Each structure stands twice: as C-alpha cells, then as structure tokens.
C-alpha cells in the first residue's frame, strides 16, 4: 500500500508529508491534498463561478465509464475496461494545463457526476445550460455493456475525474482533445435543459449528495 502511494505521488510530483496515528480494527484511508499552481501571468485559478451566457460547455474524456465499471462489478458481469476505469481512474492533468494556460476561467472536475457538476456551475455562475445528449462522449464499451442506459449512466456517473468547463474560444490543438456538449444560457426557470436529437430529454437522475 505504501509503495503504491509513493509511486502515485512520484508520478504527479507530490510529497507525502504526514498522517494521523490512530488505531482501528479495519483499514481506512482519508486523504487530504494541498497544492499550488504556477501563475505564469494568470491572475486567478479556474473556478466554478465564471461561466458566461454564450460560452460553450466542454468535457474531456469519456463520461460514465467509472459508474459503468462499478455496475458491471456489482452485477458480476465484469467488463475489464470499465472495471479499470472505476478501480484505477487517471486524472487528465495535461488537458487541465492546456485549459488553464488558454485562459479558461470556469472549470471543475466531474467527481460527483455530470449533472451534479452542471448544477454547481449554474448556481455559482447564476446561469443555465443547455446540453445536447447525443454529443456526450461515451465509450463503445459503455454502450455495449449498457445499451439501454448509457445516456443516464453518463449523466449521473461520478468518479470519472474528467473535466467540465465553459469557454468562448480555444485553439485547435485543445479543441481536438475535448468534446463540446452544450451552451451556457441566461439564467432561466430550468437550470439544466437536456435535448436529444432536437427533443427534450428527461434523464433518470440519481447523483451523489455529500450530505444525504
């Protein structure tokens, strides 16, 4: 366990600085990470409260693979690709740096699910968003494993640790690494509107809540 933590820390230039000395009949891990970033001309970090009407909504990577992996393990119908996405998620730090240094102001990771993170952005930025469901990046493995549910899994699934962000413009080399799934709107009666091929779509929502 310690060797694995050390290897992971080395890969991301992190340092283990301490920990509680406690006793328990069962092993449990509770980790806090403290970091900093290289300002390099930037005035502030990417946050959730800077989405503007007219911005495009983008994501990195595939959505829903981690939840798909969890469900496949739970159902004893294991898909090795999906299972690995759940048990060994890998943060996309290179695209995060690309967004940061190309002046993307509004960004969050998708740890609690796409819908939950969209709600956070809408509430923090006082906007609404419109999402084109058919444009969401979904892996073939997830589609094949859950042919009737992959849209809702992608909308609900957390722990993918991909990035959700809004932007007005990005260079082609960054655009080639992301997927545009919607647009930021003026605040309306509906925070989030989902559309599927030109018609309204109502996902079965079941996202994570920290205090529920």
Q: Where are the domains of the chain?
A: 56-200
Q: What percent of the chain has pLDDT over 70?
A: 94
Query: Which pLDDT does position 110 carry in this prediction?
Result: 94
Name residue 182's beta-bridge partners: 57, 131
Reported as type and span, the H/E element at residue 200 is strand 199-200
pLDDT digits over 174-197, tens only?
999 999 999 999 999 999 999 999
Give the three-class secondary structure for 207: coil
Which pLDDT band holds residue 212 (cuts at 50, 70, 90)?
low
pLDDT digits over 33-79, tens only?
888 766 666 667 899 999 999 999 999 999 999 999 999 999 988 89
Give the span between the Cα atoms of 61 and 88, in whole angstroms. Answer: 15
Q: Are 57 and 129 in contact (CB under 8 A)?
A: yes
Residue 17 per-residue DSSP state: -
In whole angstroms, how far apart are CA 149 and each of 143, 157, 165, 180, 186? 8, 11, 25, 21, 30
Query: Which pLDDT does position 2 carry in this prediction?
Result: 83
Give the burial string for 15-36 (b: 16+ CB within 10 Å, else e). eeeeeeeeeeeeeeeeeeeeee
Which pLDDT band holds residue 139 (cuts at 50, 70, 90)?
very high
Reported as type and span, the H/E element at residue 127 is strand 127-132
- Domain boundaries 56-200, CATH class: alpha beta
Give the span between the Cα atoms of 53 and 31, in whole angstroms. Answer: 36
């Amino acid at each position: 366990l310690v060797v694995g933590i050390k290897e992971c820390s080395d890969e991301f230039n992190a340092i283990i600085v301490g920990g509680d000395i406690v006793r328990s009949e069962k092993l449990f891990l509770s980790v806090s990470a403290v970091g900093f970033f290289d300002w390099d001309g930037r005035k502030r970090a990417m946050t959730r409260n800077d989405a503007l009407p007219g911005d495009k909504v983008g994501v990195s990577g595939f959505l829903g693979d981690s939840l798909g992996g969890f469900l496949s393990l739970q159902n004893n119908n294991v898909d090795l690709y999906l299972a690995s996405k759940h048990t060994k998620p890998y943060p996309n730090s290179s695209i995060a740096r690309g967004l940061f240094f190309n002046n993307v102001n509004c960004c969050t990771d998708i740890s609690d699910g796409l819908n939950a993170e969209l709600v956070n952005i809408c509430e923090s930025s006082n906007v609404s968003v419109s999402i084109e469901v058919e444009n969401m990046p979904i892996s073939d493995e997830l589609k094949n494993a859950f042919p009737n549910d992959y849209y809702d899994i992608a909308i609900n699934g957390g722990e993918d640790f991909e990035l959700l962000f809004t932007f007005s413009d990005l260079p082609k080399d960054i655009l080639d690494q992301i997927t545009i799934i919607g647009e930021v709107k003026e605040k309306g009666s509906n925070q989030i509107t989902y559309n599927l091929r030109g018609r309204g779509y109502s996902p079965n929502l079941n996202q994570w809540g920290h205090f529920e």
